[in-house]
A and B are shown apart, each in its own frame.
Chain A
Amino acid sequence: MEADELKEIMASYDAKLDSILSLNESSLKKMKLDNTRKQTRYIVILRSIEVVSFGILAIILGGYIVDNWSSTHLAISGIILHIFTLIALIGSIGQLVLLQQIDYAKPIVEIRKKIELVNSHSLLFLKLMLLSAPIWWAYPIVAFDGFFNIDLFTHMDPDFVLKYVIVNALLIFPLVWLLNKLTHKNIHVKWIRKTMGFLTGTKTKKALEFLNEIEEFAK
C-alpha cells in the first residue's frame, strides 16, 4: 500500500467520522474544567524548595568564607563548596524558568525539549557529584569545622595531604572525559546508556533518550 492510498483511507475515515462522530455535550458540560490537574505544580514546588535551599546554603557558605578568610585551607574548602552550590542553584533556577516557558500552544519540538530538560534534571546532580569526587575532602573539612568546631586539616599528616591532593588532581582528567561523555547526544552508546540508567534512574534515562530523539527529529 502506498502513502496516497493511506491518504484516501484517511479521507474516507474522515467522511465516516463526519456522519457518526458527535460530541457528548452533556458530558463536556459536566466536566470540571477549572479544576485542572496541574502536572507541573509538583515539580515547580520541588524546584522552588531546591532554589531556596541552595540559596540559603550559598549565603551560609559565603559567610563561612568571610569568617575563615585568614585560614587558607578553610577558605579554599568553603570556596569549592560555594562554587558547587552556586552551580546547583543556577541549575534549579534554570529549571524554574523552563517550567514557566512550557506552553502547550507552542510548537511540539520546542515544548518537548523543555519538558525533557526538566525531566533530566538529576543529570546535573550526577555531574556535580562526580566532579566533586577529587575534592571531596572539602566537605568533611567544612562540615567538621562548621558543626563541631574541629579543624580536621591540622590533624592530618602534611605528607599524606600532599599525596592525596596529587592523586585526586590526577582524577580530574578521567572525570572531565567521563562528564563530557555523559550527555543525551551519546545515549545511543550502550555503556553510557547503562551508566546513566544506573546512576540517575530510568526516568532520567528515558528523558535523555527522548531528548536525543527530538534533536535528531529536528535536524
Chain B
Amino acid sequence: MKANKKERFITVIDEHKKIIYKIVNSYCPNRADRKDLEQEIIIQLWKVFDSYNPDYKYSTWMYRIALNTAISFYRKEKKWYAKKDFFNEDSIFNLAEKDNDDDVTLDKNIRLLQNFIQNLNELDKALMLLYLDEKSYEEIAEILGITKTNVATKISRVKEKLKKEFQKI
C-alpha cells in the first residue's frame, strides 16, 4: 500500500517537475540551496499528499505548497556552506546537456528572465512566476489568496517595473 502511494507520488512529481524546478531556480540563486529547497518541497508535498483536495488541480495544490515552502526557505538565514554532506547529495532533477545555437540565445534570455524574477520580492516573484506560466487570473488568485482584481493590478504594476528595468539594458 505504502509502495503504491510512493509510486503515485513519484508519478505526480514527475508530471509536475517543471513547477518545482522553476520555483527552486527563482528563489535560490546558489546551487547548494537549490538541492536543499528541492528536498524541502518534496518532503512538504509528501507530508500532505494524503490530504490532497481533488477540488483543486494538482498544479494549484503543488504551486501553493512549493511557493509556501520556497518563501519560508528564502526567509530563513541559511548557511548552506555549513552543510557537510552537500557534495554527496544527488539532485532530484537531471538536466541533459543539449546545446545548439538556438539554445545559446535562449539560455541568454532565460538568464535575463531569471535575473529579473530573482530581483523581485518574495510575493511578486510568486505572482510573476504564475503569470509567466500562463495561469489564469482566477487560478493565480486562488493560489495566492488575493482577489482577481488585485491580481490584475499587481501584474500591471510589475509589468511597469519590468519595462523600466529592461529600458536600462
Q: Which A residues contact B (CB, under 8 angstroms)?
A: 1-3, 6-7, 9-14, 16-31, 33-34, 36-37, 39, 103-112, 115, 206, 210, 213-214, 217-219
Contact = CB atoms under 8 A, between A and B. Distances in A.
A167 B150 CA distance: 50
Interface in B47-98: 47-48, 51-53, 61, 64-65, 67-69, 71-72, 75, 90-98
B8 interface: no
B152 interface: no
A21 B53 contact: no
Given A19-B98, A112-B123, 16 more contacts: A1-B166, A3-B162, A7-B134, A13-B110, A16-B106, A26-B90, A28-B13, A31-B92, A36-B47, A105-B52, A107-B64, A108-B67, A213-B121, A217-B154, A218-B146, A218-B150
10 contacts: A13-B113, A16-B106, A21-B18, A21-B96, A23-B94, A104-B48, A104-B69, A107-B145, A108-B71, A112-B71
A168 B87 CA distance: 61
B77 to A, nearest CB: 9
Contacts of A218: 145-146, 150
A25 B144 CA distance: 30
Given A105-B64, A105-B65, A33 B43 contact: yes
B6 interface: yes
A31 B72 CA distance: 21
B14 interface: yes
Query: Chain B binding site: helix, strand, loop or mixed by DSSP?
Result: helix
Contacts of B163: 2-3
Interface residues of B, number: 65
A16 to B, nearest CB: 6
B119 interface: no
Interface string B117-141: 0000111101000011110000000
A146 B74 CA distance: 48
A9 B68 CA distance: 25
Contacts of A3: 131, 159, 162-163
B54 to A, nearest CB: 12
Nearest to B46: A33
Contacts of A111: 68, 145
A104 B44 contact: yes
A6 B98 contact: no
A21 B166 contact: no
A7 B132 contact: yes
B143 interface: yes
B135 to A, nearest CB: 11
A104 B68 contact: yes
Contacts of A36: 43, 46-47
A109 B145 contact: yes
Contacts of A107: 64, 142-145
Contacts of A25: 10, 14
Nearest to B96: A20
B94 A24 contact: yes
Given A27-B90, A108-B64, A108-B67, A9 B145 contact: no
Given A28-B10, A36-B47, A104-B69, A21 B95 contact: yes
